[in-house]
C-alpha cells in the first residue's frame, strides 16, 4: 500500500508524504486537516480558525433562536433565518429521519473543506471520524471498529472520480456520540458529508445484532445520495454500493 492512507482517528492521522497536516480546535470542534504540500502556508491555520468560528457562530445563533434544533432527535423544519449550514443539516436530517445535530460533524467538515479549497488544490478534513475528501489521487481510510477483529485491519479506498466525498462513521461501542445501536462501526459514503453523517447515525441506530444488517442496508439504499455502506458488528461485516475494501 502506498502513502495514500488516512486513519479514521484524526489523533493518529498518518501523514502521507504528499500532504501537509495541521490541527485546529475551537471549543468542541477539533479538526485534523491535510492539504497538498504546494498549497500549504501557515496562514491556512488562522484562515481555518476564522472559518470555524464563523460556522460555530451561525449555529449557536440559530440554536439560541430555536433550541429545538439542538435537542430534537427527529427532523425539524427551519425558519427563514437559517444559514446554509443550518439548512444543510436540517435537510440531511430529514432525509435520514434523525435529529439535525446528527449531521453537525459532517456539515462542519465539508464547509471547512470547501472554504479551504479556495486556497488549496487538495484537502482532507477529519472531524471526529467524519471525513470530507477532495483530492487528486485515491485515498484509503482505515476502519476503526472498536474490539472487532476488522478494526484497523481493513480500509475503504476512495477513487478520484468519487470526490468530493464524505465518509462518515457511527459506532454504538466507540466514542461519545449518541447511538441507540450496538454496531462497532457503520461507515457511510455520500458526496454530501452532512447526509453521510446523519445516515451513519440512522443506520447505526438500527444495528443490535448481525441479523439487522440486511434491514439496515435496505433502509440506507432508499436514502437518495448515499453511495456506499459498510457495517461491522463483532466478527461480521456487510457492505453495499461503492465500497472498495483494502487490507491494511
Q: Which residues partner with 170 through β-bridges?
A: 186
Residue 180 has pLDDT above 80, yes or no: no
| Percent residues over pLDDT 70 in the chain | 91
Instruction: Name the strands in the sheet holding 244-247, side by side, starting at the edge strand that comes first in the sequence.
Output: 5-6, 139-142, 154-158, 244-247
Backbone angles phi, psi at 232, to 5 degrees: -130, 130
CA distance 189 to 146: 20
CB 166 within 8 A of CB 130: yes
Higher-pLDDT residue of 146, 124: 124
33-78 pLDDT, tens digit per residue, is 999 999 999 999 999 999 999 999 999 999 999 999 999 999 999 9
* Cell numbers representing residue 175 in the block: 466514542
Q: Could you report the per-residue pLDDT of 66-112, keeping only the tens digit for each?
A: 999 999 999 999 999 999 999 999 999 999 999 999 999 999 999 99
The architecture CATH gives domain 5-247 = Roll (3.10)
Amino acid at each position: 500500500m502506498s502513502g495514500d492512507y488516512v486513519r479514521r482517528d484524526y489523533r493518529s492521522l498518518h501523514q502521507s508524504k504528499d500532504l501537509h497536516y495541521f490541527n485546529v480546535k475551537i471549543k468542541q470542534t477539533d479538526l485534523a486537516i491535510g492539504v497538498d504540500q504546494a498549497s500549504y502556508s501557515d496562514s491556512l491555520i488562522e484562515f481555518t480558525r476564522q472559518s470555524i468560528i464563523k460556522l460555530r457562530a451561525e449555529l449557536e445563533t440559530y440554536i439560541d433562536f430555536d433550541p429545538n434544533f439542538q435537542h430534537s432527535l427527529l427532523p425539524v423544519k427551519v425558519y427563514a433565518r437559517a444559514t446554509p449550514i443550518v439548512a444543510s443539516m436540517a435537510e440531511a436530517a430529514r432525509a435520514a429521519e434523525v435529529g439535525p445535530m446528527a449531521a453537525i460533524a459532517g456539515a462542519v467538515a465539508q464547509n471547512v473543506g470547501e472554504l479551504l479549497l479556495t486556497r488549496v488544490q487538495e484537502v482532507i478534513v477529519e472531524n471526529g471520524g467524519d471525513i470530507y475528501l477532495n483530492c487528486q489521487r485515491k485515498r484509503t481510510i482505515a476502519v476503526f471498529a472498536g474490539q472487532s477483529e476488522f478494526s484497523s485491519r481493513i480500509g475503504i479506498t476512495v477513487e478520484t472520480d468519487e470526490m468530493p466525498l464524505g465518509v462518515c462513521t457511527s459506532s454504538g461501542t466507540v466514542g461519545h456520540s449518541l447511538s441507540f445501536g450496538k454496531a462497532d462501526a457503520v461507515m457511510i459514503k455520500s458526496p454530501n458529508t452532512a447526509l453521510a453523517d446523519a445516515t451513519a447515525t440512522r443506520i447505526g441506530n438500527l444495528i443490535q445484532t448481525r441479523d439487522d444488517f440486511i434491514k439496515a442496508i435496505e433502509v440506507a439504499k432508499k436514502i437518495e445520495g448515499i453511495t456506499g455502506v459498510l457495517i461491522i458488528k463483532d466478527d461480521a461485516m456487510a457492505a453495499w454500493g461503492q465500497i472498495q475494501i483494502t487490507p491494511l
